[in-house]
Amino acid sequence: MCSGRVDLAFVLRAFSNGMDGVFIGGCHLNECHYITDGNHHAFAMVQICKKLLGHIGISPERLRIEQVSAGEGIKFAEVMNDFSKKLRELGRLGKGEGVSEDALKLRLDAATRLVPYIRLVERERMRVRLNSAEEYAEYFASEEINRLFQELIVEKVSISGILALLREKPRSTGELSDALGLTPSEVSRCLNSSAKQGLTKFDASQKRFVAA
């Protein structure tokens, strides 16, 4: 299967199912077997997913992509041994990050609901064609991409998690902050934004926020 077929949703689903790490092996860049540049799309997807994982409290090192051809068996073995070692160092998913199972599920579900939107943002605002893995890493670590990620993705993922919690029951800013791993100021900003959109409101009688 072409590495370009590995969707962001597949990666998040693997972590939701309790996998400690995800490895993607693709053709060398500029050597696509299908002449579709699928490996370029895969490298971009992985960089965005790493940012997303970091935002929701999962180590980005749990996701790895490598350029490995069918004739590089020794390299593949070395890469997998190295990745396995890194996962052992990180520990079990969630426990290694100090995130509870319930909080982990909530955050992954919130991110997964935004996958179609994130795909659109990547295609319309972040897509480039570069020549090496290093160039992709540098590009997605740039100030401009970090700004776009914060402006276009981070708040929406946070609001997705907030809405999921408020649909269960009314909650305070502190309760939302603890569950989502956000600071109280970040939660307040998201609540203000979601209130303007008619998604949440403050219930004075309960002194809690509720879904509108």
The domain segmentation of the chain, as residue ranges, is 3-211
Q: What is the pLDDT of residue 4?
A: 84
Q: How many residues does the chain have?
A: 212
Close Cβ partners of 187 (under 8 Å, ≥ 6 residues apart): 158, 162, 173, 176, 177, 180
Structure tokens, 200? 């949440």
* 18-24: average pLDDT: 97
Neighbours of 184 (CB within 10 A): 13
Residue 40: both structure tokens together: 């370029």
For the segment 7-13, the average pLDDT, to the nearest whole number, is 97
- The band of 13, judged by pLDDT with boundaries at 50, 70 and 90, is very high
Residue 206 has pLDDT above 80, yes or no: yes
End-to-end CA distance of the chain: give it in Å, rounded: 44
Give the strand pairing for 200-203 and 208-211.
antiparallel
Provide the 3-class DSSP secondary structure of residue 101.
helix
pLDDT of residue 49: 97
Tell me the two tokens of residue 138: 């540098």
Number of neighbours of residue 123 by Cβ within 10 angstroms: 11
User: Using one digit for the tens of pLDDT, what is the confidence trace for 145-173?
Assistant: 999 999 999 999 999 999 999 999 999 99
DSSP designation for 18: T
